Homo-oligomer: A and B are copies of this chain.
Amino acid sequence: MKSYTQYLTFNTKKHREFINLTEKVTQEIEKSTIQEGFCLVSAMHITAGVFINDNELGLLTDIESWLNKLAPEGQNYNHHKTGETNGDAHLRNLVIGHQVTVPVTKGRPDLGPWQSIFYAEFDGQRDKKLLIKIIGE
């Protein structure tokens, strides 16, 4: 069994942002030289998410406003008593999830034609880390 670990750092310009990771993940899988296995793409923060969906701009704005409905910002969250203001970002992390497992087949991410991998920043404008870890053979 082989394993390969890579850390990426994001510092988004906007407070919230979706970043398409598909090409980067494909490159890391190639670098790993692993042909068959699993590639874990996992945020190392609790105010960011990772998800797979369609790279369609209208849909990404829908996801943004939908999350704002399910986990609104500016609420009187108990978490804010610590001085933080990002309660909504923690809840969005829980709705969307913070990781996906990308199957690796013949050295490539084994995704459907419309599946793109996104990093979802919910509380950015500072360094945030993401882990890509591949195991297989």
| Contacts from A to B (Cβ < 8 Å) | 1, 3, 5, 36-38, 40, 42-46, 51-54, 56-59, 61-63, 66, 70-71, 77-82, 87, 90-91, 93-101, 103, 105, 110-112, 114-115, 129, 131, 133, 135-137
Contact = CB atoms under 8 A, between A and B. Distances in A.
A82 B94 contact: no
Contacts of A110: 5, 131, 133
> Which 7 residue pairs across A and B have the least CB separation, nearest first?
A44-B112, A58-B78, A3-B36, A59-B79, A103-B133, A58-B79, A1-B1
Contacts of A133: 38, 103, 105, 110
Contacts of A97: 97
